[in-house]
């Protein structure tokens, strides 16, 4: 009987942690290179945005795909509600200021985009591999309610373990 109580308690704790705390995720594809690689394993902090803070530009987040919420993506938040996003020759500007996260030239696209104002309760997200990313430029802004959590840790491969 004692082992049954222990198992039940562990199941309840695990459910609470996965529901409100943390989630394991895997990167599929190249859209976040060079920051994240295909098949990297991540820990996503789900609690931070529910209980403590709002998503911020520069955060790497896991979010539901606005076109099909059964899928989830990992992208970087570029701008929040009220911000104006413009891309000129592959350089991203938010409110006419160059976005502070530097992307190596080989990962930048050479397109122009915008300007576009981010709606209330929405975010503009992009992959770091701008030439190979399906993101807000293609399918629009992401509602705040679709942000699952902040990517906090790349734990696999162990040689590339990184806190974000």
CATH of residue 140: 2.10.109.10
Q: Is the pLDDT of residue 116 over 60?
A: yes
Question: Measured between alpha carbons, how far is 96 from 92 in angstroms, rounded to an integer?
Answer: 9
Highest mean pLDDT: which range of 6-10, 72-76, 108-112: 72-76
Q: Is the pLDDT of residue 12 over 90?
A: no
Share of the chain above pLDDT 70, in %: 91
For residues 56-71, average pLDDT: 96
Give CA separation, 60 vs 56, 125, 127, in Å: 9, 9, 9
Q: Is the pLDDT of residue 130 over 70?
A: yes
Query: What is the structure's pLDDT at 23?
Result: 87
Question: Measured between alpha carbons, how far is 59 from 39 in angstroms, rounded to an integer?
Answer: 20
Q: What is the mean pLDDT of the chain?
A: 91
For residues 27-56, average pLDDT: 95
Q: Is the pLDDT of residue 16 over 60?
A: no
The total of structural domains in the chain comes to 1
Supply the pTM of this predicted model: 0.87
Question: Could you report the per-residue pLDDT of 18-34, keeping only the tens digit for each?
Answer: 666 788 999 999 999 99
Question: Measured between alpha carbons, how far is 103 from 117 in angstroms, rounded to an integer?
Answer: 22
Sequence-distant (6+) residues with CB within 8 A of 158 are none
Catalytic residues: 31, 75
CA 38, distance to chain mean position in Å, is 15
Secondary structure class of 163 (helix, strand, coil):
strand
Q: Is the pLDDT of residue 13 over 80?
A: no
Secondary structure class of 153 (helix, strand, coil):
strand
- The domain in which residue 23 lies consists of 2-163
pLDDT bin (cut points 50, 70, 90) of residue 3 is confident
């Amino acid at each position: 009987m004692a082992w049954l109580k222990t198992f039940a308690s562990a199941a309840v704790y695990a459910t609470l942690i996965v529901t409100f705390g943390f989630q394991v995720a895997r990167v599929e594809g190249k859209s976040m290179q060079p920051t994240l690689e295909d098949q990297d394993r991540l820990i996503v902090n789900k609690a931070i945005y529910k209980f403590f803070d709002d998503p911020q530009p520069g955060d790497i987040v896991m979010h539901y795909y606005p076109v099909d919420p059964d899928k989830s993506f990992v992208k970087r938040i570029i701008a929040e509600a009220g911000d104006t996003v413009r891309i000129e020759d592959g350089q991203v500007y938010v409110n006419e200021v160059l976005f502070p996260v530097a992307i190596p030239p080989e990962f930048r696209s050479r397109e122009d985009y915008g300007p576009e104002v981010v709606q209330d309760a929405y975010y503009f997200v992009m992959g770091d591999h701008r030439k190979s990313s399906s993101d807000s430029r293609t399918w629009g802004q992401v509602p705040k309610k679709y942000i699952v959590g902040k990517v906090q840790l790349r734990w696999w491969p162990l040689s590339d373990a990184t806190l974000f």
